[in-house]
């Protein structure tokens, strides 16, 4: 998980049964997006971030990663968690997100394959 999301979001993901690697905990605070992306790929992990730069499919092509989830929710971590809960536990339930770009807003989940 990228550093631009609250540790509370990481806690929620863990509570839902996901293994979470936080950029902060890996000692990579402030790392370039390419490094963050490469770390996620080396770990075989989907990247959860609020950085819309990861939505650039020219740079981070769909089909070429373990999944990118961009959280586009402004406000409190609780609002982000609620949107992610809906997206992950309902909208994406049972779907493989490998190679997929997912954009989560408060109202909807957009999926780009």
The string of pLDDT tens digits covering residues 46-91 is: 999 999 999 999 999 999 999 999 999 999 999 999 999 999 999 9
Q: Residue 92 is part of which domain span? A: 7-112
Question: In this structure, what DSSP letter does residue 107 have?
Answer: S
14 assigned to some structural domain:
yes
Number of structural domains in the chain: 1
16 assigned to some structural domain:
yes
1 assigned to some structural domain:
no
**Which pLDDT value is given to residue 99?**
97
Token couple for 92: 């994406």
- Tens of pLDDT, residue by residue over 22-41, are 999 998 998 999 999 999 99
2 assigned to some structural domain:
no
61 assigned to some structural domain:
yes
Whether the Cβ atoms of residue 97 and residue 69 lie closer than 8 Å to each other: yes
Q: How far is CA 75 from CA 21, 83, 105, in A?
A: 23, 11, 12
72 assigned to some structural domain:
yes
Q: What is the pTM of this model?
A: 0.95
């Amino acid at each position: 998980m990228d550093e631009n999301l609250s540790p509370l979001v990481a806690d929620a993901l863990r509570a839902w049964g996901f293994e979470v690697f936080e950029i902060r905990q890996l000692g990579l605070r402030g790392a370039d997006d390419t490094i963050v992306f490469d770390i996620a790929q080396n770990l075989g992990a989907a990247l959860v971030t609020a950085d819309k730069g990861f939505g650039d499919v020219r740079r981070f092509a769909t089909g070429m990663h373990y999944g990118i989830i961009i959280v586009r929710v402004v406000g409190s971590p609780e609002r982000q968690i609620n949107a992610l809960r809906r997206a992950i536990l309902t909208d994406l339930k049972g779907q493989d997100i490998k190679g997929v770009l997912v954009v989560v807003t408060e109202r909807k989940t957009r999926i780009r394959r």
